[in-house]
Chains A and B, each alone.
Chain A
């Protein structure tokens, strides 16, 4: 079932000035309820503008955004409700923390939605647990936290609003490999438990390959693909032409396939590659085991 749909969605910056630029052009897509959608595209491809239109932060120049079948701009006064339903975690969200304590910061969103203090606190504690933020940190000032902890607190602030759709813009940028790993695992677990829709915008094809069921590829303001992740990453040549690439492991496996090795060219993880390659190499060279 479709939760979010765009119809001929177009956005132009600086209309009527010499700097007029079409950032998003004629994008018609359907996002399924409960899916984990990866969003990729080079800098300036229009993906940030597109996701900002999905929760009504900016109003399309033409075309429509439908949330659960309803045009989000049908009643502009109710656009706030849309922002509660489509929660957005921006890049480097840790710079947006402002409250006295981490708990108050996470409660800010739910309280804005009109929840009581008790309800907001329950939501905040649950959201903090989802992002792996330790309970003893909740009474601290956000500014005492490490970079990774701040990022978790900021993400918890959006999760606490229990959005139908959670949009994360580059949530792992600047985190070390371990931090990246843990955060991605938490996001996929959150997605599994809550069953709501997650949009993950990322420049890391390895992160996308590990998590997304389907991929939305933006290129030169238009939607180039909206297909299962494996189908998109099977097009490595076309992706490279768009300034993107496939995960390292996919590239290796595709080269192996060309060398005559019977592997699935849409392999996205090292684990999946190993499952296929260990038996293959063993039967190839049974006498030469190390």
Chain B
């Protein structure tokens, strides 16, 4: 049994006059414990709906979302599911609640009724894990966007969730902030084994995941390693998606008849390949 099992999930939003609009048309996905999955797709393809189904904020119209075997769509499972799956959203200003960083991180465990000494330990550990321990007594509103998002992530970690779902966490951040958040989630995944589901429009972020799932019109269009998915440049473009510039450059060089050994996904891979080639 996989940690997250999505079985034939359909979801419809209620529209005016009793009408319904189905946005997910039968999704099947298994996500193993400790996986790092990037979820791609254009605006309106159902990605954010998926995020909300994963932690029980929405219930499927039909089918099931199982988190560690628990049906996330059932009301009685809401609390245990949210302890397992934390959600981090796009706008860092909408998800910080307290006036001091460490109090904000403590908010989650306090609500779970965790004893005070245990809260202290968890808050310190969570802030260290996102490299924000030095800022524990600062005011959240004075932090940069990247720092705010890391505090939001610490708030989720302090609840000892096994999985973090991030819905475009870097859309509002500057380049350094984006890098800080990406480094934090890759480290949490690698060192703490936390399962990561990252929803993003940035292809250079998606290539850092272990698995890429592309959604289109409420269905899974592609599912595989970044190498597998991003090499299908034409197919991605047909579905209004993009590839990293490094990938596009090498794909088009090859198409023009230049013999390249590989299609790289990142600047580093690309430069490494050219270095070998030009040696």
Contacts and interface: CB of A to CB of B under 8 A. Distances in A.
Contact of A274 (B241, B244, B249, B267): B249
Interface in A90-147: 91, 146-147
B5 interface: no
Interface in A37-95: 41-44, 91
Given A248-B267, A251-B267, A255-B271, A274 B204 contact: no
A174 interface: yes
Interface string A261-290: 100000000100110011001100100111
Contact of A277 (B41, B253, B271): B253
B42 to A, nearest CB: 4
B43 interface: yes
Contact count band on B: 35 or more
Interface in B75-133: 90
Contact of A252 (B42, B249, B254): B249
Interface string A138-181: 00000000111000000000000000000000100111111111
A243 B244 contact: no
B175 A243 contact: yes
Which of A41, A44, A177 is the most central at the interface, judged by chain B CB atoms within 10 Å of its CB? A177
Given A43-B173, A274-B252, A176 B240 contact: yes
B236 to A, nearest CB: 9
B19 interface: no
A224 interface: no
Given A174-B90, A281-B258, 15 more contacts: A42-B174, A148-B43, A175-B201, A176-B42, A178-B241, A203-B174, A244-B174, A251-B267, A252-B249, A259-B274, A261-B278, A281-B253, A282-B258, A288-B259, A289-B258
12 contacts: A146-B43, A173-B172, A177-B42, A203-B175, A205-B175, A252-B274, A256-B274, A270-B249, A281-B258, A285-B259, A288-B259, A290-B254
Interface of A: 41-44, 91, 146-148, 170, 173-181, 203, 205-206, 243-245, 247-249, 251-252, 255-256, 259-261, 270, 273-274, 277-278, 281-282, 285, 288-290
Interface of B: 41-44, 90, 144-146, 168, 171-178, 201, 203-204, 240-242, 244-246, 248-249, 252-254, 256-260, 267, 270-271, 274-275, 278
